[in-house]
Chain A
Amino acid sequence: MKSKKVMGLTIAAIMIASLAACGGSSDSGKGVEDSIDDDKIVINFFHRWPNDPKNSMFNELIEKYMDENPNVTIKMDCILNDQYKEKIRMVVSTDEVPDIFSSWSGTFAEEMIQSGNVAELNDMYESDTEWSSQISQASIDGFTFDDKIYGVPWSQDGKVFFYNKEIFEENALEIPTTWTEFIDVLDKLQDAGYETPVVEGLSDSWAILHYLGTMNQRMIDPDTLAEDYNADTGEFTDPGYVEVLEKWQQLTEYMGDVCSAIDHETARNTYFATGEAPIMYLQFAEIPLLEESLPDGFEYGFFNFPAFEEGKGDINALTGAPEGFMISNKTKYPEECQKFLKWLVSKQGGEALTTQCGDLSSVEGAVDETNGLPAQIEAMDIIKSASQLSPWLDNACDASVYTVYGQGAQAIATGDETPGNVMKQVQEAAASLH
């Protein structure tokens, strides 16, 4: 009996000890950090690119920066897209907010700013015009709210139709500039034997939302659109929205049955890259991915989304958005953070981004004939010549609205819903936010 008791007490003691040990270790960890703080500057840097090549690019750049600035330690942490969204949303309103973190533009940026923990950077731009003049203005706009700049754009992107030049030449097709011409091209391609003249992976709802964002922008009066995308005032009662979905329905008829079951990557790699589908709506950021799966001699060109004849939106706008970094206003070293970002978002950082990872840098002149692919240079020109960048639908409006929008449009493509019905659901979703 006694030995049992001793056993029991020993086990209990071990348990308590182990619990205490757990608590203790984290404490001592903090202690070490604090002692570093005294003579070294530690910047926490949190981003969403844990995959290579971007992760190793950031590692290299940061190492280089730390070599140049031995008093600064940059602690990098990263997790992938959706998890990143969840985590940053959770920490942004707390004291745990990282000193520098990546953010999308548009509604996501707005949400970050609403936490009250994002630093306003107007001074940073104004005090160093030599640096800020190289940054693309359209990209800065994506982080500007009420004339206050809250971010430093890092990459930019745009979405256009990529087309197979060879097929277009064979069938003597012109690049369409209006919707009617576009449908005409699709008809001709179908007559020429292409079952899916335009392809998309409709199981990815973001891919659908990219279409709808552009189509709404082309169709609807910009003021109405801005009002509807605002969660507080959104109604979506303009008849144009139903027309857009009707046009979407018309377009999906050219995509074939298979599209509803495949994702965007499959559509790109097994339909567009093989020449089975001559047209696809792609992002510039996909150029390097596309290049990997293209056969030799495959030539592709770009054209912007055609204009709707009855549309009220700017036909020279380009759907696309910048991504960038924000600085927390809780950081102990605001100046060091700015200094690092200026160093990162510069010609050398931009060049690394474009040549190593294939993304288009927001730094003007970072990419030229010497270091970029011809397609990337053309893409940069298209972005530069666009009258404005209009955000992706899933960056422009509240998630409650775009989720319903995407699901509805998906159901339209499979023939299970009607445009009118879907718009009603979107209206309900928008109304529930007021």
Chain B
Amino acid sequence: MNRKRNLQAFCFVIPAVLILGIFVYFPLVNNIIYSFQSFSLSSIIKEWVGLENYKALLSDKTIWICIKNNILYAIISIIIQVGFGLVLAAVLEDIAFRKFAPFLRSIYFIPTVISLTVICLLFEFVYNPQMGLLNSFLNAIGLDNLSQVWLGNKKTAMLSIIAVSQWQSIGYVTMLFIVAIQKIPKDLYEAAEVDGAGKIKRFFYITVPQVRQMFFVTMMLTVVGAFTVFNEPYILTGGGPGTATMVLSLYMYQTGFVKNNMGYASTIAMLIFVITAVLSSVQFLTYGTEKEER
């Protein structure tokens, strides 16, 4: 009976394993092999070059610009999406906002459901130096000296791109936190209130520890998202001016499909894979120990 059951279970798992195997693990293994080769899309033979690609990776200056930009992306995303998103969720769940909460929730969530391409094109208009909303707004309130060529200036381009992602994703993270906060037993808050804890204290001593689990989920989402970001810089600046807004995945795409150097692009893909794998496993591990302690 048991063996039969196992067999049956196996049958159910097979399709998923097959699909995963063909579409995820097979390409992954293939990519590892590619990263030791040199070839272009149209070349017939793939030349084995050993560690050449990895050596090139270490001496490639653009890679460091990419990594720097991705790290900046991750840090800002954690602060704004996770940090500020949690505060926003707590505020929306507060009794004072009960009345407007559903309305505000939808407002914050709407950007998440709009296509990223659309959002980026909209923001191109916002950032347009001549007739863009942002500069017009600054001029209107008398801060003319703050108006910038947002996407064309090395100093502001990356931050401008990051800002778009924050605007888009904060609603999603907030929503996740709202769900977590709603699961917190109400008696905890009531007991704290009886003990005389104010709203801020209740936030730090009840809300924050209680949503810890969600905290890890959102951290992982935003950090992995920050290291795989592609659309925003691709549409808004294409990595420019110069290489000021180049990120890892965009550089990988350019190397592979523009420079037609698929081998080196695979090596960059490996780098992205290693970075995201390490970051997620660190987060998984810390989360795992956390669970046991409880």
Using CB atoms, name the residue of chain B closest to A5. B8
Residues of chain A contacted by B151 (CB below 8 angstroms)? 203, 261
Residues of chain A contacted by B154 (CB below 8 angstroms)? 411, 414, 416
CA distance A413 to B56 in the complex (A): 28
A202 within 8 A of B: yes
User: Is A407 a contact partner of B243 (Cβ separation < 8 A)?
Assistant: yes
Residues of chain A contacted by B40 (CB below 8 angstroms)? 89, 111
A400 within 8 A of B: yes
A166 within 8 A of B: no
User: Is B56 a contact partner of A432 (Cβ separation < 8 A)?
Assistant: yes
Contact with B along A245-275 (1 / 0, CB 8 A): 0000000000001111110001000100000
Contact with A along B3-21 (1 / 0, CB 8 A): 0000010011001000000
A90 within 8 A of B: yes
A259 and B152 contact, Cβ closer than 8 Å, known pairs A89-B41, A399-B259, A400-B259: yes
**CB within 8 Å of B: which A395-430 residues:** 398-400, 403, 407-408, 410-411, 413-414, 416-417
**CB within 8 Å of B: which A42-78 residues:** none
Decide if the interface of chain A is mainly helix, strand, loop or mixed. Answer: helix
User: Is B15 a contact partner of A111 (Cβ separation < 8 A)?
Assistant: no
The segment from B123-131, B192-200, B207-215 that touches chain A is B123-131
Residues of chain A contacted by B258 (CB below 8 angstroms)? 399, 403
Residues of chain B contacted by A85 (CB below 8 angstroms)? 257
User: Is A86 a contact partner of B41 (Cβ separation < 8 A)?
Assistant: yes
Residues of chain A contacted by B152 (CB below 8 angstroms)? 202-203, 257-262, 414
User: Is B242 a contact partner of A411 (Cβ separation < 8 A)?
Assistant: yes
Contact with A along B124-141 (1 / 0, CB 8 A): 000111100000000000
A114 within 8 A of B: yes
Number of interface residues of A (CB under 8 A): 41
Output the least CB separation between B127 and chain A (Å): 7
Output the least CB separation between B292 and chain A (Å): 35
Partner of B241, one of A8, A11, A266, A414: A414
Contact with B along A74-113 (1 / 0, CB 8 A): 0000000010011001101100000000000000000110
CA distance A89 to B262 in the complex (A): 12
B149 within 8 A of A: yes
User: Is A92 a contact partner of B12 (Cβ separation < 8 A)?
Assistant: no
Using CB atoms, name the residue of chain A closest to B236. A203
Output the least CB separation between B4 and chain A (Å): 8
User: Is A414 a contact partner of B242 (Cβ separation < 8 A)?
Assistant: yes
A403 and B241 contact, Cβ closer than 8 Å, known pairs A111-B42, A262-B129: no
User: Is B129 a contact partner of A257 (Cβ separation < 8 A)?
Assistant: yes
User: Is A400 a contact partner of B244 (Cβ separation < 8 A)?
Assistant: no
CA distance A148 to B151 in the complex (A): 46
Output the least CB separation between B68 and chain A (Å): 15
CA distance A433 to B153 in the complex (A): 31
CA distance A205 to B240 in the complex (A): 9
A289 within 8 A of B: no
User: Is B243 a contact partner of A411 (Cβ separation < 8 A)?
Assistant: yes
CA distance A11 to B127 in the complex (A): 54
Output the least CB separation between A291 and chain B (Å): 23
B261 within 8 A of A: yes
Residues of chain B contacted by A116 (CB below 8 angstroms)? 44
User: Is B149 a contact partner of A8 (Cβ separation < 8 A)?
Assistant: no
CA distance A157 to B149 in the complex (A): 33
A261 and B41 contact, Cβ closer than 8 Å, known pairs A89-B260, A202-B152, A399-B258: no
User: Is B241 a contact partner of A416 (Cβ separation < 8 A)?
Assistant: yes
B30 within 8 A of A: no
Using CB atoms, name the residue of chain A closest to B256. A86
Closest 7 pairs (CB-CB, A-B): A411-B242, A261-B152, A260-B152, A89-B41, A399-B259, A89-B42, A414-B241
Show 9 residue pairs from A and B whose CB-CB distance is below 8 angstroms, ordered by the A residue.
A5-B8, A8-B12, A11-B12, A12-B12, A90-B41, A203-B152, A205-B240, A260-B149, A407-B243
Other A-B pairs, 20, CB within 8 Å; known A203-B151, A203-B240, A262-B129: A8-B8, A12-B11, A89-B41, A93-B43, A111-B42, A111-B260, A115-B44, A202-B152, A203-B152, A203-B241, A257-B129, A260-B152, A261-B129, A270-B130, A398-B259, A399-B260, A400-B261, A403-B258, A414-B154, A416-B244
